[in-house]
Amino acid sequence: MELEQGGADLIHWDVMDGNFVPNLSFGADVIASIRPLLTIPFESHLMVNEPTWILDAMVEAGCSTVMVHAEACRHLHRTLGRIGELGATPAVVINPATPLEAIVEVLDLVGLVLIMSVNPGFGGQSYISTVENKTRRLRDIIIERGLDIDIEIDGGIAPSTIASAASAGANRFVVGSAMFRDPDGFAHATNELRTLGTAALA
């Protein structure tokens, strides 16, 4: 498909329940139907209250990373452990207003932390730059504890924002509107963003 041919490293699926966020989206059956068409990895971002009921289906659909919101899980430690038991990489998500203290006790369980730089549920929102302070603090904690964790930023990532997000410590980025709205196509958008992000990480 065009995204893979254009150089995307993976597909990030936003799964919404109409409860944790106002919108509804597709489920595991749609993801499973697309899985045979692509070779790049799939990750699922579960904007779902108490997501334990859908974890198995996401992994069976072909998602190698499963992300759950700290704000949506009553038993976050147990939920992340279950993702690992299923053979996927556990990941935890925090919203812009959620403090890092909500996840410091589960960092040993995850391979990725997703920091939302917009409020979840809608595309096309403006980047909330104050999350960069949180990103820097998280990167320092990861280094101090000797952990191997990727930091991913989701929301408002564009040529004008990716460098500052990378400089703050993020090494993965979810891109939506900036890629689809580039008049020169997916490949141009991907190359431009990768160049800017890589330069900032150097």
CA 120 to chain centroid: 11
| pTM attached to this predicted model | 0.94
- Determine the pLDDT at residue 10: 96
Q: 184 catalytic, yes or no?
A: no
**97-130 pLDDT tens trace:** 999 999 999 999 999 999 999 998 776 678 999 9
> pLDDT-based confidence at 185, cuts 50/70/90?
confident
Written out in words, the top-level CATH class of the domain with range 2-201 is: alpha beta
Catalytic residue among 29, 154, 182, 184: 154
Domain boundaries, the chain: 2-201
Q: Is the pLDDT of residue 1 over 70?
A: no
- Determine the pLDDT at residue 182: 81
**133-181 pLDDT tens trace:** 999 999 999 999 999 999 999 999 999 999 999 999 999 999 988 888 8
* DSSP at 17: B
Catalytic residue among 9, 14, 150, 184: 14
Residue bearing the bigger pLDDT, 3 or 48: 48
- Determine the pLDDT at residue 82: 99
Q: 14 catalytic, yes or no?
A: yes
